[in-house]
Structure 1
Amino acid sequence: MTTPPDSDLTAMQRAVQRTWTPDSHWHIGDLAWQSPSLPDRTVKLWRGSDGEVEAWARLTAPAHLDMHAPPELLPAVLDWFHATTGEVEQTVTAMNSDAELIAALRAAGYQEAAEPFFQHCVRDLDGHLPKPVLPSGYRVRTVEPGELAARAAVHRAAWRPKWIGSLQVPPVDLGDGESGMTTERYAKIADTWPYRRDLDLVVEAPDGTLAASALGWYDDVNQSALLEPVGTDPHHARRGLGAAVSLACLHAMRDAGATLAVVCPRGDDAYPVPRTLYHRIGFRDAGRTVAYRR
């Protein structure tokens, strides 16, 4: 685990951490999980008089803006976005509770768009946290040193739209594809603050292979934990492994000092399975993302 003192990523995380609330769009763990893609993005930072980053913007193709900014810097961030992307269709994602950003977007000509959204769910990490229950022969444990290839592989196996769609009732076609997770990519994530191996949990099958996984991110300043991501190899589906490894990760994060956990699954009707799982283990809906387009 490393904490680069002057990296753009760490500066962006610190800006998020200083103002984090359960209604926030970003958690420091979100940015850590997405860190391998940062070198491929156009990133702009706005610093205060003390040199600390107060706002940041990150472009994803073709013209989508991810951002974090206080109200007074919203015009500057949007002006930069418009000047950088030019006369094309532009989209920005906001939290439905972020009244200042939504007002700034509407004033700049954006309208709410009917797009898939992410539902932020929260859970208190208190004495009512259930213990994980596993089928006979399975066990949950932390990732071991030298196991990054297997850890990346179980993530890849889980994140296939085709099999996730097959779990829905009735089944739906979500297309096919595969996660781009590689051993090298996972190694970069594992070398990014605030990754902790004791919060990186897997379920080991009776034959010794990895069957499911859950990764936790702990913000010790806000005592908040992000559960991101969780997945089960389809060969081991419908055995309660996703719920079990999630609960084990929540216990680990509570032991680390977290008092509140956040998870952000897709929330629209086209993708209900993960949200249902999290509700089953005690998460409740909070805010959600909303897409705006002009």
Structure 2
Amino acid sequence: MTDRLERHYRRLLLAYPRGYREANGGELTATLLEASPPGRRTPPAREAFALVRGGLAERARAATAGPRPWWVDGLHLALPPLILANTVAAFWTIYNHAWFGAVMALLMLPVVFGRARLALPVALFAALQVSGPTSDLGVGHGVPVSGWSVPLGFWAVAAILAVLAVRGDRLRRRSPLWLAATAAVLGYAHVSAVTGPPWTLLRAVVEVALLGLAVAATAVTRDGRWALASSLYLVGAIAPLAEYPFVPGWRSISYWGTLAALTLATVILPRRRARTL
């Protein structure tokens, strides 16, 4: 029974950074096991939630450590979601030209590993490809788009990478889940260039979840890097609305209002700390 409970605790402690686990994991596990009543096989739900919450908070604090300025890390944080959004926008191109999907995967890879200088040429190539007069880049249901909003997203990625490349800071590695998400989008794009309500709902859920994590990290650290990343993503997301205005329904208002409110929260929370100090 004790071995099984210990395995559960060790899995929950994976929420903490590796350095924290190596320094405190054994002692923390022993304390939790000692406090558990005899015969218990799984941790209580409240305790499990507290461990995961504490682990994520510790990861957020660890993310603010290091010599990099907060805005450099904020720019890097913005890149994976922006690249993924550009990949979704390029459904039509990827469906017709498989090589462009390889370009997007090749762009995400060095970004996740913190290699801005390796990613910059790929980003410039992708931006040039979607900016030509004969580009068949499309969004939504595979409708070609010849406007400025979608290419703007690609050039924004290239511009951010250029700033990071010039700075030359050693960047953090990002979660490999970004690579998995890119692979999933590319796999779907090779099958169909059409997106419908289920896809739209999935995207909204992912966006709200990521922005919610950004708010939580900002609440713990009162640091501005998540505000910068969230704001850049929101600007890129609303660019098509500026180019192609429409009369929104209640679903659209709820969706954009939620994204804006979460982004605003990441901006306000660090300012509250500054006023307190």
Q: Which has the higher strand share?
A: 1
TM-score by structure 1 length?
Answer: 0.27
Higher relative contact order (CA 8 A, sep 6+): 1
More helix by share: 2
Q: Which of structures 1 and 2 has the bigger CA Rg? A: 2
TM-score of the aligned structures, taking structure 2 as reference length: 0.28
